[in-house]
Structure 1
Amino acid sequence: MVSVAVAALHERDPERLWPLLAAALPGLFGGDALIYKLDDWSESAGTVRVSPGAAAELRLLGAEDLGLLRAGYPFAALYSAEHESVPVSARQVAGPVWPTSPTARLLRRVLGTHDVLAVPLPQTSTPITGCMVFRSGTDFTDDDIRIARRTQSLLAAVEQQRQLLEHWQRQLVARGAPGAPHEPAEDCALTPRETTVLLLLADALTAAAIGRRLGISDRTVHKHVENIYRKLGTRDRVSTVLRAQQIGLVPPPGAAPLQAPPGQHNRV
């Protein structure tokens, strides 16, 4: 997963971050396919996205089957009731009746799988967000679940990066910044992580606060800040933010302060 993490940190398009994970995670857990939902796990709401290997099959499902695909898992009720976002398999929650449940039979028919491992983003409350990994044969083992728990921090970091990049792009578009949202960062050779740090600098966060937000050390934050100064040709926070505003990297003077997307503190 190190290579996936590195690729995610260098990805400038927020829409490509989770597809990177979706392509890599099934193999990590010995699975065959993956579904991820970033907004909700419920019968009636939430956008279902899938790994490349499952996309064609799921596009063939009718409305009734899609409803069953949304509603048939025991995870949302479990996480809402227990408030503990730990990976767990459907068999662990539903017991031995799971393989004969309507949802398991649907998965077997459509994907050739029936066992499911839920990997929620840590510290989520409502809605429950995260992914589900599917496999055939035996249930997920204790080792698989331990790996899933170690992976949760990576999922949270990628989702936080996605939200920050999307929020940044929306603000630039709303303020009429010149060019496409990603072009200024490319011109200045800022990495996506440096861009994220710059956004938080513009929001008046301290290095310690930025480190807590991104899950990195103060020393790493200062290294990113040094790189930003060098690339923008500045020497301090104020001149850096002003320069970034001039070239459209952050909202211009007089704009509302850049803040994290609403609800982000509940998701990561």
Structure 2
Amino acid sequence: MGLDRAYERLTELAVAALHEREPERLWPLLADALTGLCGGETLIYKLDDWSEGKGTLGMVPAAAAELGRLDDEALGVLRSGYPFAHHYAAGLGRTPVTARRLADRAWPTSRTARVLGTALDLNQVLALPLPGTVAPITGCLVYRSGTDFSDDHVRIAERAQPLLAAVEQQRQLLERWRRSTAAAEEPEERAADRALTPRELTVLLLLTDALTADAIGRRLGISVRTVHKHVENIYRKLGTRDRLSTVLRAQRLGLVAAPARTGRR
């Protein structure tokens, strides 16, 4: 696949991801597509802090069974993140890089390379961290067998970074929305009845936080103009004209959580 087509595919992927209503399906959707776009055979993603003893490991659906066959020692080696953990923790940027380029001759004889070769028949790794993350450093690792990832594969990974960051922010906000409306009756059905898209739901949630359009844009990685477009759509779908009435109506409809009441004597 050429670079132009790969970039088009990333755009298509972004549209599909931002219309996904189930937050737990977002990363599997990304992982499945990114694996091929970056020239890999499988992919592991991390969404929380990793150590050799704990941390969530997600894998592309087609290869999830492989992860389940690894013992605790092998999982610990993968979680250690050699040679990327030290590189990124040292503050050396968030540019995607391969294990072979980073560790050079030390990579093929490393413990991690031996585990990958023995357990999964893989020998090359491309790190794709989320931009802007500090601690923990989140993102994904793409794996393949044979020769190292090409320069084009690394370029595609760099182009994918903003998409990953946007989708992860979307996932977190959808999870928060789901938790905050847990006590409401069928909030997802109510949102669907109002034809609110998942993106509009996240913007509505941030409106309840009293964030400005500029702040919402920075949070979601979109332009202020796009924020205003989402807000206009929310007003139209809820039949409101301003921010306050929109938030109040959304609370009455059970689309967002109402503020907790405090007792007075």
Q: Which AA in structure 2 matches 1:207? A: A
Q: Of 191, 197, 214, which aligns to 2:203?
A: 197
Query: 1:135-154: per-residue Cα shift (whole Å, max 9, x none)?
Result: 11111222221221111000
Q: 1:72 to 1:168 in 2, by over 3 A?
A: closer
How is 1:21-60 mapped onto 2 (pairs within 5 angstroms)?
21-60=30-69
Say whether the 8 Å CA contact 2:122–2:144 is kept in structure 1.
yes
Alpha-carbon distance between aligned partners in 2 of 1:60 and 1:209, rounded to the nearest angstrom: 44
Q: Normalized against structure 2, the TM-score is what?
A: 0.90
**Alpha-carbon shift at residue 18 of structure 1 (Å):** 0.3
Select which of 90, 102, 124 maps to 1:115: 124
Per-residue deviation, residues 78-105 of structure 1 (Å, max 9, x unmatched): 1111252121111122112212323212
Runs of 4+ aligned structure 1 residues displaced above 6 Å come to none
- Counterpart mapping for 1:176-255 below 5 A: 176-179=183-186, 181-254=187-260
After superposition, the CA RMSD in angstroms is: 1.6
Say yes or no: does 1:71 pair with 2:65: no
Q: Which runs of 5+ in 1 are unaligned?
A: 257-268
Q: Name 1:261's counterpart in structure 2.
A: none
Scaled by the length of structure 1, what TM-score is found? 0.89
Q: How far 1:253 sits from its partner (Å)? A: 3.8
1:72, CA displacement in angstroms? 5.6
Change (3 A) 1:238 1:65: same
CA separation in 2, counterparts of 1:41 and 1:145? 23
For 2:5, the equivalent position in structure 1 comes to: none
- Measured in 1, the distance between the counterparts of 2:73 and 2:258 equals 49
Between the aligned partners of 1:252 and 1:96, the Cα distance in structure 2 is 58
SS of the residue 2:190 aligns to: helix
Structure 1, residues 27-79: CA drift from partner, whole Å, max 9, x if none? 01111000000102331231111012321122112222222222262111111
1-structure distance, mates of 2:241, 2:181: 24
CA–CA separation in structure 1 for the residues paired with 2:178 and 2:172 = 10
- In structure 2, do the counterparts of structure 1 residues 74 and 172 end up closer, same or farther at CA, with 3 Å as the change threshold? same
Kept in 2, the 8 Å contact 1:58–1:110? The answer is no
Q: Which moved more, 1:122-131 or 1:88-97?
A: 88-97
Q: Please, which of 94, 104, 111 is the counterpart of residue 103 of structure 2?
A: 94
> Taking structure 1 as reference, are residues 243 and 72 closer, same or farther at Cα in structure 2, changes over 3 Å only?
closer
* 1:80 and 2:69 correspond: no
Letter of the 1:104 partner, please give it: A
Aligned pair count? Answer: 253
Query: How far off its partner does 1:254 sit?
Result: 3.8
Between the aligned partners of 2:60 and 2:199, the Cα distance in structure 1 is 25
AA in 2 matched with 1:205: L
